[in-house]
């Protein structure tokens, strides 16, 4: 016998499911007993050039928390119009100036206020930051070198990572950055960050400059690497498809001064990007976010 749907009006309506996603109510209080947050923003405002004529508030009263899930990190994608403060949020987590320190509020990583950059956080930028005078192997193992890992061990680990990211030890290890394609350079940048096994990986539009096919290959690669390293990832993108495919959660931001206006929980990818991204339920989530983003843009104009 099927049960009647609940008619208890004292219960708030559950937020809507949208395709492969579920709208999550924005929480007001993130302190849950017994649960540690990997990253937490408490009422964070960043005003650049505060107190001067050219003062500009990039984000205002941003609050969110990403829980520390045992044996699994969450994949958080941030979407929002250009200039809404996405990179500002990422660099605040990284502890990089001049974004750090916030003008108001607190940024916490693993329960402690961020005091500056740290080995628990690794960053991958859009513009394939590599050292021009170092080979692929030397670029990938740079962080291990800084940590004093001895040459032979570092090269062994580096070679494994060259293969992990789909490059070829025999043909690619000795190449210099100018001899690589954009996609290959981004593989080097990812390996260079992940080799250090940071608890938190910060990625600022890492695939923005890649062609669509390479981009999807990189998305699939990132999903498999992320499952292995069990890190929490913050990933900024302008591609709604990319955010819905990669994200466990998608934060959608308003125009500057940026706030998080909607959070969606999304099912994890279980098939290649090329297949998942053409499915109707996937497209339904994309269309929902696209409408939201265009409303945000219309409000800003
Ligand atoms: N160092 C700075 N000094 C002054 N203003 C800044 C500084 N960095 C960023 N801003 C301003 O703060 C706002 C948010 O910048 P941010 O780089 O965080 O945006 P974004 O969402 O990453 O944009 P995009 O999608 O174009 O990368 C922008 O208007 C930018 O001009
Ligand atoms: Mg940016």
Estimate to the nearest angstrom the gap between the alpha carbon of 206 and the chain centroid.
9
Nearest protein CA to atom 3 of ligand 1, as residue: 48
Tokens 């119009």, residue located: 81
CA distance linking residue 112 with residue 39, whole number of Å? 9
For residues 79 and 239, is the Cβ–Cβ distance under 8 A?
no
Which residues are CB-contacts of 96 (< 8 A; sequence separation ≥ 6)?
A: 117
pLDDT in tens, 186-233: 999 999 999 999 999 999 999 988 888 889 998 999 999 998 888 999
> Does a structural domain hold residue 4?
no
Nearest protein CA to atom 20 of ligand 1, as residue: 83
Sign of CA dihedral 121, 272, 277, 214: positive
Print the domain residue range for 181.
130-197
104 CA distance to ligand 1 middle (Å) = 17
Which of 146, 170, 197 delimits the end of a domain? 197
Q: Ligand 1 — pocket residues by CB below 6 A?
A: 48-49, 56, 58, 80, 82-88, 98, 256
pLDDT in tens, 14-24: 678 999 999 99
Based on the fold, state whether residues 38 and 172 are members of the same structural domain: no
Ranges 9-23, 57-71, 247-261, 263-277: which has the least confidence: 9-23
pLDDT band at 28 (very low <50, low <70, confident <90, very high): low
CA distance linking residue 133 with residue 111, whole number of Å? 39
pLDDT band at 128 (very low <50, low <70, confident <90, very high): low
Taking the model in full, what pTM does it have?
0.92
Assign residue 259 the CATH number of its domain. 3.40.50.300
pLDDT in tens, 45-86: 999 999 999 999 999 999 999 998 877 889 999 999 999 999
Which of 197, 219, 252 delimits the end of a domain? 197
> Does a structural domain hold residue 168?
yes
CA distance linking residue 71 with residue 100, whole number of Å? 29
Nearest protein CA to atom 16 of ligand 1, as residue: 85
pLDDT in tens, 151-166: 999 999 999 999 989 9
pLDDT band at 1 (very low <50, low <70, confident <90, very high): very low
Based on the fold, state whether residues 58 and 170 are members of the same structural domain: no
Region of residue 148 (phi > 0: left; psi between -120 and 50: alpha; otherwise: beta): left
pLDDT of residue 16: 87
């Amino acid at each position: 016998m099927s049960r009647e749907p609940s008619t208890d009006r004292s219960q708030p309506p559950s937020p809507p499911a949208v395709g492969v996603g579920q709208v999550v109510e924005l929480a007001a209080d993130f302190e849950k007993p017994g649960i540690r947050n990997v990253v937490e923003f408490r009422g964070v405002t960043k005003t650049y050039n505060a107190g001067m004529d050219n003062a500009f508030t990039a984000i205002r009263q941003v609050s969110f928390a990403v829980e520390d899930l045992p044996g699994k990190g969450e994949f958080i994608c941030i979407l929002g119009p250009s200039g809404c403060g996405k990179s500002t949020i990422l660099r605040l987590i990284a502890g990089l100036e001049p974004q750090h320190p916030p003008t108001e509020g607190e940024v916490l990583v693993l329960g402690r206020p961020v005091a500056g950059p740290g080995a628990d956080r690794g960053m991958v930028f859009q513009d394939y930051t590599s050292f021009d005078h170092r080979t692929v192997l030397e670029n990938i193992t740079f962080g291990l070198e800084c940590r004093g890992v001895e040459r032979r061990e570092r090269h062994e680990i580096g070679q494994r990572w060259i293969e992990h990211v789909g490059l070829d030890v025999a043909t690619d290890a000795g190449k210099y950055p100018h001899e690589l394609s954009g996609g290959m350079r981004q593989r080097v940048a990812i390996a260079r960050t992940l080799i250090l096994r940071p608890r938190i990986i910060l990625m600022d539009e890492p695939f923005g400059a890649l062609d669509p096919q390479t981009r999807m290959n990189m998305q699939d690669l990132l999903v498999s690497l992320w499952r292995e390293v069990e890190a929490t990832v913050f990933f900024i993108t302008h591609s709604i498809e990319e955010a819905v495919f990669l994200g466990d959660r998608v934060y959608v931001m308003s125009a500057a001064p940026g706030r998080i206006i909607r959070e969606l929980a999304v099912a994890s990818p279980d098939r290649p990007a090329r297949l998942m991204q053409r499915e109707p339920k996937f497209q339904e989530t994309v269309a929902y976010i696209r409408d939201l983003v265009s409303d945000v843009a219309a409000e800003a104009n």
